Copies of this chain bind each other. A is one copy, B any other.
């Protein structure tokens, strides 16, 4: 459990002149359930995009599985916070979930039967069985969110990046998703961005707080047990669950 899965070294990101992340260093280890909290606009989504290599850092080094993010992508599952898509695009729920299997298949190979079974299973897991043939553009907010989770799970990634996975998910499903994540973390590493303070205290093993202003901690249920000195100003690391 001491493998470094994600290593950020003095990473800075600025877009169009505004600094979003500044000299951020972070290590996430194998089979950790790592939480990221922080105020809106704190840079959490940007951080995940840096780990995926979708956002190039202005400065600093990023390693995922010890290599360049762009190379390690196929081993990562990702639930984006928002999906910018064309509502009219003709694509069904099951086709979208299958996209999660794309990295396991090369060119010239369509999705196999196995892929389809896994896709159906993933949809069942998020309670979307029966909606396979629905158009993605017509889904409700929560249904879409569930779909995104299923798509990330179906690829059986080694590292799972979740950006507020339970936003607009109903309480019942929320609970079962957290239960699922708890069982998954035995076989993979999970990094989750969330504003759900309850989930942080119950499920997550370590928490980083991005750009937290002081007020934040008062409301949240995070107990600031330990502030790791190895991170610079904008990140606070809080340990939980007495693990490690």
Contacts and interface: CB of A to CB of B under 8 A. Distances in A.
B219 A146 contact: no
Interface string A101-145: 000000000000000000000000001000100000011111101
A110 B131 CA distance: 46
A81 interface: yes
Contacts of A55: none
Interface residues of A, number: 40
Given A140-B40, A141-B164, A164-B141, A170 B81 contact: no
Contacts of A163: 141
Contact of A219 (B145, B168, B171, B215): B171
A16 interface: yes
A81 B131 CA distance: 21
Given A45-B141, A84-B87, A164-B141, A170 B15 contact: no
26 contacts: A39-B172, A39-B173, A40-B142, A40-B146, A40-B168, A40-B173, A41-B131, A41-B143, A42-B140, A45-B140, A81-B141, A82-B141, A84-B87, A141-B164, A141-B167, A164-B168, A167-B167, A168-B195, A170-B195, A170-B216, A171-B195, A171-B216, A172-B215, A172-B216, A172-B219, A175-B219
